[in-house]
Amino acid sequence: MGCVISKAANEAIPLDNKEKKTIGPKAEHHSIIIVGGGVAGLHTALRLHEAGKSDIKLFEGRSMLGGRVKTTRDEDGKPKFNDFAWRVGEGNEKMLALCKEFDIKLREQFTPASAHKGSHSDSSADAGHDASHPTPPGRAPLSAYASHCLESTNGADDMDRKTGYAGRSAQISFPGESHGTVNFVVEEGMNHIPTTLASKLPEGMVNTNHRVKDVTKLADGKYQCDIVVRKGNDYTPLTFTCDTLVLAAPPVSLRQLTIAREGLNPVLFAVHQRRLMHCYVKSKSENVPDRSDTEDRIYQGFPDSILQQVVSGDYGGGIFQGAYACDRFERVWRELTFQGPEVVKAELEKQLARIDLPAIKGVSIDEVQISSGFVHRWHIEAHLNGKTKEDLQEQAVYPQPVRLPRLHLVGEAFSSQQGWTEGALLTSLSAVDYILNDKTTSKSKFAQPLPLPEPTKGGANMIYRGIVADVSEWGSRHPGGFGPIMGHGNEVVDEIFDNFHNGWPAPLATMFGLQTGVLEK
């Protein structure tokens, strides 16, 4: 399943190749190509289309749109439950405005008083950053977990597990971060949002079952996308080129692309995945907690159980979340899943019987469905020079304005609101602004063009794949010691860096964190 363009005849040219070649006549060219049919990709296509951009192609590898936004429905099409993106927070201003714009009905979930205590919110800031350990200027703040560990490691573990998301408090948090305590459920199911966005686009603009196999940059400045189209059991390779490229897919699926190795890997590896699991239970018993808009709604954490959280369902039908877990507890459920549905059902019954939750006593279990997915978080290394999540988002949306002009990254993964669909909209709006105004430079102060410095032993900078990184203070913190840093000051270190660090997330994320600009040529 290769590209229709023969490599011998018209191979895509790596960025460091001086020979001037372009793609052959068989490639279909478009002004804008968007890779990924989630909320970010669809929203970008819609806003560009509304602004008069008509030559757009959006490619989604799967048969369905929505990305991480998934809704399971019954035989009549009514929503049963949502996976992963399952609600809209009161602080999600862009998403709330979008729903209002397109008349997407929201219903407020009832928030039990216990949830206001911070045990069940999606904000890691609820655990609190310990102000007794102030952050030095230009440095990453300690996570809440690290701050608490300085006083008591047992206390830190206890605090962490009480969040209901073991490991959440180990994330970097900043003062005042919160998504609020009021949340809303989409009455017609969360995937009604991407479905609505797609319905506003002209026929032929959105293409499902079109998997992007590779992306390269050509010597003439265009981008080449090698596509594999699935139709039944047949797979057909096609090639497209474009002037502007928007990558609206998760980092893990972009790292395999040729273009990633030419300057995108630092940002792609600055984001990591956290595993998340929803365990939905269906019961024919009476009084099943299957509504989230009533005062008897259950939203309760159980830190000493692999259930972690038990949450009422949203749409009735006798369905509720019997477990909602992440990271190491998600893995436990995944291991149980591999042993078969009867093992999962028996263990779930056992675990539910062990917890102190009178509202579910006597509730039988008829069906169980487990879905494992992920949310994204910025690596600690990305914050090491004191960059905020907003800084990282601005830096990520237009990561290489000189080396990779007119290429943008959008999606929850690259945003300041990771884990929420709000992040998809924030990055999308930023990319749309760049494209409509034909901006050739980034709005990020960390991605402005800088001249190549004169090589100087002990120089302040290193240049990697077009990124200018300030290493003047990094030598004393570099895990590999002072020498390797100071011995290559103001040098282009592509080969030596890859020799020692190629593919390692932490060094690549560190390069993104140390970035102060991009090479102007």
Q: Of residues 262 and 125, which shows the higher confidence score? A: 262
The stretch 324-349 carries a mean pLDDT of 94
Whole-Å CA distances, 273 to 109, 205, 276, 354, 418: 27, 30, 9, 31, 11
- Checking if the pLDDT of 11 tops 60, the result is no
Instruction: Return the percentage of the chain with pLDDT > 90, whole number.
Output: 71
Q: 467: closest CA among 273, 253, 269, 272?
A: 269
Tabulate helix, strand, coil % of the chain (nearest 5). Answer: 30, 25, 45
State which H helix or E strand residue 98 sits in.
helix 93-101
The stretch 282-295 carries a mean pLDDT of 94
One-letter amino acid of 287:
N
Q: Of residues 307 and 459, which shows the higher confidence score? A: 307
Classify burial at 17, counting beta carbons within 10 Å of its beta carbon; exposed 0-12, middle 13-18, buried 19 or more: exposed
Largest CA-CA distance found in the chain, in angstroms, rounded? 76
- Which pLDDT does position 72 carry in this prediction? 95
The per-residue pLDDT for range 103-144, each reduced to its tens digit, is: 999 999 998 876 544 434 444 434 444 445 778 888 888 888
Tokens (6 digits) for 446: 């960390």
| Nearest-5° Cα angle at 301, 298 to 305 | 120
- Checking if the pLDDT of 224 tops 90, the result is yes
Do 448 and 518 touch, CB atoms closer than 8 A?
A: yes
Q: Of residues 300 and 129, which shows the higher confidence score? A: 300
Lowest mean pLDDT across 71-85, 158-172, 230-244, 444-458: 158-172
One-letter amino acid of 162:
K
What is the CATH topology of the domain spanning 448-519? Flavocytochrome B2; Chain A, domain 1 (3.10.120)
- Checking if the pLDDT of 63 tops 60, the result is yes
CA separation for the pair 100, 88 (Å, rounded): 13
Do 424 and 415 touch, CB atoms closer than 8 A?
A: yes
CA separation for the pair 109, 179 (Å, rounded): 14
Task: Fill in the DSSP letter of residue 82.
Answer: E
Whole-Å CA distances, 253 to 214, 256, 413: 10, 6, 12
Write down the domain spans for the chain: 123-178, 273-376, 448-519
Question: Where is mean pLDDT largest: 142-156, 205-219, 294-308?
Answer: 205-219
CA separation for the pair 505, 99 (Å, rounded): 36
CA separation for the pair 354, 281 (Å, rounded): 17
Which residues, including other chains, have CB under 8 Å from residue 136's CB and lie 6 or more apart?
A: none
Q: What residues pair up with 300 in beta bridges, in sequence order?
A: 310
CA separation for the pair 413, 9 (Å, rounded): 37
CA separation for the pair 152, 166 (Å, rounded): 17
Beta-strand (E) ranges in 471-510?
A: 491-492
The per-residue pLDDT for range 388-414, each reduced to its tens digit, is: 999 999 999 999 999 999 999 999 999
- 73 phi/psi in degrees, rounded to 5: -120, 160
- Checking if the pLDDT of 495 tops 70, the result is yes
The stretch 21-33 carries a mean pLDDT of 76
The per-residue pLDDT for range 320-332, each reduced to its tens digit, is: 999 999 888 999 9
- Which pLDDT does position 214 carry in this prediction? 97
- CB contact burial 469-501 (16+ within 10 A = b; e otherwise): bebbebbeebeeeeeebbebbbbbbeeebeeeb
The 10 Å Cβ neighbour count of residue 510 is 27
Lowest mean pLDDT across 3-7, 76-80, 133-137, 511-515: 3-7
Lowest mean pLDDT across 57-66, 186-195, 325-334: 325-334
Place 488 in a pLDDT band, splitting at 50, 70 and 90.
confident
- Checking if the pLDDT of 304 tops 70, the result is yes
- Checking if the pLDDT of 6 tops 50, the result is no
- Which pLDDT does position 14 carry in this prediction? 42
> Based on C-alpha coordinates, what's the Rg of the chain?
24
- 493 phi/psi in degrees, rounded to 5: -115, 25
Whole-Å CA distances, 354 to 272, 305, 420: 34, 9, 32
**CATH 3.90.660.10 fits domain 273-376:** yes
- 466 phi/psi in degrees, rounded to 5: 85, -5
Do 65 and 58 touch, CB atoms closer than 8 A?
A: no
The strands making up 461-464's β-sheet, listed across from edge to edge, are 449-450, 515-519, 467-470, 461-464, 491-492
CA separation for the pair 370, 324 (Å, rounded): 10
- Which pLDDT does position 164 carry in this prediction? 78
The per-residue pLDDT for range 351-373, each reduced to its tens digit, is: 999 999 999 998 999 999 999 88
Do 41 and 248 touch, CB atoms closer than 8 A?
A: yes
- Which pLDDT does position 115 carry in this prediction? 59
Positive or negative, the Cα torsion across 400, 406, 411, 417?
Answer: positive
- Which pLDDT does position 213 carry in this prediction? 97
